[in-house]
Structure 1
Amino acid sequence: MAAGLEDSNAKVLEMAYATTEEGHRIYVRPTDPRALGLIANKGRIIRGSLELWRVALGLHEWCTMIDIGVNYGEMLVGVEIPAEAELIGFEPNTSLHKVLRKTLDARGITIDLRSQAVADRSGTARFAVDRTWSGTSSLHDERHDGSARWQVREVEVTTLDEVLGGSGRSFCVKVDVEGFEREVVDGAARSLEDTKHWALMLEIEHMDRGYLAELARTRGVFVKEKDSTALRRVPSDRVAVEVLLDDPALHRQDCLVLSPTLAAEQR
Structure 2
Amino acid sequence: MATTQTSAQASTHRRAALVTGASRGIGRAIALRLAADGLDVAIGYAGSAARAEETVAAAREAGVNAIAVQGDVSQAPDVARLFDAAQQAFGRLDVVVNSAGIMPMAPVAPASLDAFDQIIATNLRGAFLVLGEAAARLDGGGRIVALSTSVIARSFPGYGPYIAAKAGVEGLVRVLANELRGRCITVNAVAPGPVATELFLDGKSDEQIAQLSKVAPLERLGTPADIAAAVSFLAGPDGAWVNAQVLRANGGFA
The TM tier, using the shorter chain, reads: 0.3 to 0.5
Q: TM-score, normalised by structure 2?
A: 0.41
Q: TM-score, normalised by structure 1?
A: 0.40
User: When you count strand as a share of all residues, which structure comes out higher?
Assistant: 1
From the CA coordinates, give the structure whose radius of gyration is larger. 1
User: When you count helix as a share of all residues, which structure comes out higher?
Assistant: 2
